[in-house]
Amino acid sequence: MRILASIALVASLMFGGVANASDFITVASTTSTANSGLFDDILPKFTAKTGIEVRVVAVGTGQAIRQAQNGDADVLFVHHRKSEEKFVKLGYGVKRYDVMMNDFIIIGPTADPAGVQSTPNVTEALAAIYKGKANFVSRGDDSGTHKRERGLWEEAKLDPRASGNWYREAGAGMGATLNMAQGMGAYALSDRGTWIAFKNKQGLTIVHEGSKHLANPYGVILVDEKRHPHVKTALGQKFIDWLVSKEGQTAIAAFKLKGEQLFFPTAH
Amino acid sequence: MGDMTAALSTAVELIVSLDPHLAEIVGLSLYVSLTAVIISTLIGVPLGAAVSMLRFPGRKSAIIALNALMGLPPVVVGLVVYLALSRSGPLGVFGLLYTPTAMIIAQIILVTPIIAALSRQVITDLWSEYDDQLTSLGSSHSRAIPTLIFDGRFSLLTAVLAGFGRATAEVGAVMMVGGNIDHVTRVMTTAIALEVSKGDLALALALGIILLSISLAIGAAAQIFKDRSELRNSS
């Protein structure tokens, strides 16, 4: 009897947990937006206004897109334009909206053994690392940052994977990759937001920034209900509308960390 | 070294201030893991006892399988449960992905083989001890099972604690099927992984210290309960 009662109790707990889900949407997004604290800052403002709770699953851009394709998110909020456009073109997403941007930077050991700091542009910077066979940690996880990093090597016409073991693929998020770079005294490509928020910087510094090539635009897309009928279209669109509205854009611009603005609105 | 001392003081600070966010995370960890362990115990102990006592074809293979499944990698379990619960998966219609229920399901799959395999050993040992007695009382193998489970309840408690340890410590499965969503599916281990990825090693370690303290407290409580009951039984 006692066993039956405990089964009933457990079952009611389990299904109770599902039943009390109120108005919420699931957003598949990237570690850079979540780890920098942006969402912690702006989402409460949206929830306060609309009563809609936003549940963020923060993974790499590649994984976020796959989750959205599987129908496991209502809204996709990532940063790799080509993949985003493909997502819409294949019929998984309704429309891509520009939301904001920041930029990529190359970080590396303060001693700068490869002499990256004296290079004029990102192509030369990567070439210096390549020539010096200085340790470089790549995300290696098919994230937006990883896709961009591979693109930059291609533009520089270099193949780091073919030339020895100084090029390490971490297969990890931005923060974990920065931790590795810190531990190994290595170079890495990072988005500026994660870098500013990152707390384990000892011995690392920005060695290259400001190239035009390094802009990092973020887009937001509603998952198409034609593909996944359970998608919360109305709530999801409300969230997107708010993000690109004057109010949402102001909230994004107002988010500062250590006195620095991390993301720059691009919706207008 | 600086991180270590900072972690200790952060841990103490968090505990003393009864940080509400931390309390929520600890509460969810305990809810998910305790629920999973209770259900796993209800399945695993009878299952282990049955494999120990009943003679059926394929029993040897069942024992080998149980022992092997103790070492299931959490991330594989997470992946399988994700694929099953995903909207594109066979159980997608229930919308369970990224809920505590999904995390409980994953942990049940991880923990049940541990409890079952350890229970099987406990029951087998007990049976070899009481074999003659129970047989002389006319008890068959299957009818001896409840007696043996009752008699071995304190040793079985260790099996359950081992399962609980696994449940609270794993991160791969709950990260994958829970999604580490703040206020919804963030538990101790996924919170630790998150703080590591933010480079806040001191806060991560502080959370680790708290997780360890909770496991210690639960282990100690079980030990005290066991000692007292055994004392009462022997007197």
Q: Is the pLDDT of residue A117 over 90?
A: yes
Instruction: Specify the range with the lowest mean pLDDT, choosing from A40-49, A139-148, A224-233.
Output: A139-148
Architecture of the structural domain at A2-102+217-265: 3-Layer(aba) Sandwich (3.40)
Nearest residue, CB atoms, A10 vs list B38, B194, B201: B38
pLDDT averaged over chain A?
90
Nearest residue, CB atoms, B197 vs list A15, A173, A201: A173
Interface pTM, i.e. ipTM: 0.80
Phi/psi at A7 (nearest 5 deg)?
Answer: -65, -45
Percent of chain B with pLDDT over 90: 64
Q: Helix crossing, B20-53 with B188-197: angle to 10°? A: 120
Domain segments of chain A: what residues?
A: 2-102+217-265, 103-214
Task: Give how far Cα B197 sits from Cα of A38, A114, A260, Å.
Answer: 15, 26, 21
Give B65-91 pLDDT, tens digit per residue.
Answer: 999 999 999 999 999 999 999 999 999
Give A199-233 pLDDT, tens digit per residue.
Answer: 999 999 999 998 888 999 999 999 999 999 999 99
* Residue-level pLDDT at A118: 93
C-alpha span between B38 and B58 (Å, rounded):
28
Give B130-165 pLDDT, tens digit per residue.
Answer: 888 888 887 788 888 898 999 899 889 999 999 999
Domain segments of chain B: what residues?
A: 2-234
Which residues of chain A neighbour B31 with C-beta distances below 8 Å?
13
CB atoms inside a 10 Å sphere around CB A67: 25
Question: Tell me: domain A103-214, CATH 3.40.190.10, correct?
Answer: yes
Nearest residue, CB atoms, B196 vs list A6, A15, A179: A179
Confidence of residue B29 (pLDDT cuts 50, 70, 90): very high
Count, in order, helices (H) and strands (E) of chain B: 10, 0
Confidence of residue A21 (pLDDT cuts 50, 70, 90): very low
Cβ–Cβ below 8 Å for A179 and B104: no
Fold equal for A2-102+217-265 and A103-214: yes
Architecture of the structural domain at B2-234: Orthogonal Bundle (1.10)
Cβ–Cβ below 8 Å for B196 and A175: yes
Q: What is the pTM of this model?
A: 0.85
